[in-house]
Structure 1
Amino acid sequence: MTASSTRCSRNSPADAVSRAAEVLWRRSALWGLRWVLFALLALCGQAQAANPAAIPDMRLEQTDEGLFLTAVLEFELPTLAEDALRKGIPMYFVSEAELTRRRWYWYDQHIATEVRYLRLSYQPLTRRWRLNVSSAPFDSSGLGVALGQNFDDLADVRAAMQRIVRWKIAPAAAIDPQEQYQVQLRFRLDLSQLPRPLQIGALGRSGWNLSLARSLRWSPEPTQ
């Protein structure tokens, strides 16, 4: 009698099923991760659409008196900031324009910096808004030398804050017609001016975030 034997297959049906299950699990996990990423991107897009903040228009004008900046800002007041305003807590904002001379061989050279400080307040009894604008920081001693305007509606006072008209940011003597320059405009809600409890609560909370910035390259007009 002749004995015969059959070699066992290395790829048994159980191994094939296991590999197929592993492949399906990996594909499912990959698709799940993609959907999570899509959802996060959609949420970010909705948040940006709900709170637009930009500087769509920014222009420079050179005269014998100096360099003047005109700009339009687009923003909504942060939700928590508006709530605090309606409870009688003033909010402070800072506009900053910086002029630098471009240098290809080194860091850009600082030429001038101008800052404007804004104080927005609301009187619950009269239901009126007041905007104060100053070239110096506001302190506890008072408003100092500041331009003040009253408004009946929040939309009107926000529109006034969003317009910068012929703001002198550098004297004529600081401009060299042979050089190239860059102007950076920044606007932000100054959280350091909030009452201490609000400062602590505002850290890391998107309901307080408000910050805009834009840069513009500029070449002086040739002198006659």
Structure 2
Amino acid sequence: MHRGARIKTGLERLLLLWCVCTALLLPAAARAEAGAAEVSQLQLERTEEGVFLSAAIRFELSAIVEDALLKGIPMYFVAEAELFRDRWYWYDKKVTLASRHMRLAYQPLTRRWRLNVSPGPIGNAGLGVTFNQNFDSLADALAAIQRISRWKIADASEVDADARYNADFRFKLDVSQLPRPFQIGAVGQSDWSISASRNQRLTAESAK
């Protein structure tokens, strides 16, 4: 084979390899972007009753997660808020930790979506559930999960009027509550990775 032909063949192989790698990487990048989550809004408010948190979270379910839901596998989402008091001489002091657990499940018989909300973990029997709501579409159910309005994360007795505070807010899809086979399959998979966090200061204006 002539030298020119060998060079041409080598270039063709490199081009083919590049095309294969691009075809493999692009779907993975698309899945990672689809599963990415963001806390787009976060607000703290202090009143005579305590400290309230409002938030908006943006995320999309991957096709795998949505398919599991349609097959009757519930999905569990957890929102957590930690309130810290500023300390100039040491690490900030943790004042409270509030949790909101959400269980989303599809009801095949009624073709409706059921959302359970509780301050503690929700078991299959629904123990500890304090709020239930039904939706006609998955989009409506997700909209309810993605928006938190005036969630009380601390009582008035737990905060001092003359102190400064900040809050860490976290949101995630909790795969640890999935059936065991799904937990194993979800490890390291971006399709099952939905998490976001943000810090917000309780300003003087919000404390009025």
Q: TM-score range by the shorter chain?
A: 0.7 to 0.9
1:125 aligns with 2:131: no
Query: How far does residue 150 in structure 1 lie from its aligned partner after superposition?
Result: 0.8
Counterpart of 1:55 in structure 2 is: 39
Q: Is the 8 A contact 1:175 1:220 kept in 2?
A: no
Note if contact 1:178-1:220 (Cα within 8 Å) is conserved in structure 2: no
| 1:196 is aligned to 2:208 | no
Gaps of 5+ in 1: 1-34
**Alpha carbons of structure 1 residues 218 and 192: separation in structure 2 relative to 1, 3 Å:** same
Q: Closer, same or farther in 2 for the Cα pair 1:45/1:101, shift >3 Å?
A: farther
| 2:164 corresponds to 1:180 | yes
User: Corresponding residue for 1:110?
Assistant: 94
2:10 matched residue in structure 1: none
**Distance change >3 Å, CA 222–CA 202, structure 1 → 2:** closer
Question: What residue identity is the alignment partner of 2:60?
Answer: E
Counterpart AA for 1:155: A
- Higher mean alpha-carbon deviation, 117-126 vs 214-223, is at 214-223
- Answer yes or no: is 1:76 the counterpart of 2:73: no
Output the aligned Cα RMSD.
Answer: 2.3
Q: Return the alpha-carbon distance in structure 2 between the equivalents of residues 142 and 157 of structure 1.
A: 18
Cα offsets for 1:37-84 (capped at 9, x unmatched): xx8xx9587555433411111111111100011111111123322111
- Comparing 176-185 with 92-101, which one deviates more in the overlay? 176-185
Report the secondary structure of 2:48's partner residue.
coil
Q: Where does residue 119 of structure 2 map in the other structure?
A: 135
CA distance in 1, matches of 2:158, 2:172: 27
Which of 47, 50, 69 lines up with 1:66 in the alignment? 50
CA separation in 1, counterparts of 2:32 and 2:196?
13
Partner AA of 1:174 in structure 2: E
2:128 to 144, 158, 161: 144
**Which residue number corresponds to residue 213 of structure 1?**
197
Q: Is this contact kept in 2: 1:184–1:214, CA < 8 A?
A: yes
Q: Is the 8 A contact 1:62 1:221 kept in 2?
A: no
User: For the Cα contact (< 8 Å) 1:177–1:221, is it kept in 2?
Assistant: no
Supply the distance in 1 between the matched residues of 2:70 and 2:62 (Cα, whole angstroms).
13
- Whether the aligned pair in 2 keeps the contact of 1:62 and 1:220 (CA below 8 Å) is no
Q: What TM-score results when the alignment is normalised by the length of structure 1? A: 0.75
**Alignment partner of 1:58: what SS?**
strand
User: Are residues 192 and 48 of structure 1, via their aligned partners in 2, closer, same or farther at CA, if it must alter by over 3 Å?
Assistant: closer
Q: Distance in 1 between matches of 2:161 and 2:78?
A: 30
Retained in 1: the 8 A contact 2:79–2:99?
yes
Distance 1:140 1:123, change over 3 A: closer
CA shift for structure 1 position 192: 1.1
Structure 2 gap ranges (5+): 1-17
**Shift in CA distance, 122/141, structure 1 to aligned 2, threshold 3 Å:** closer
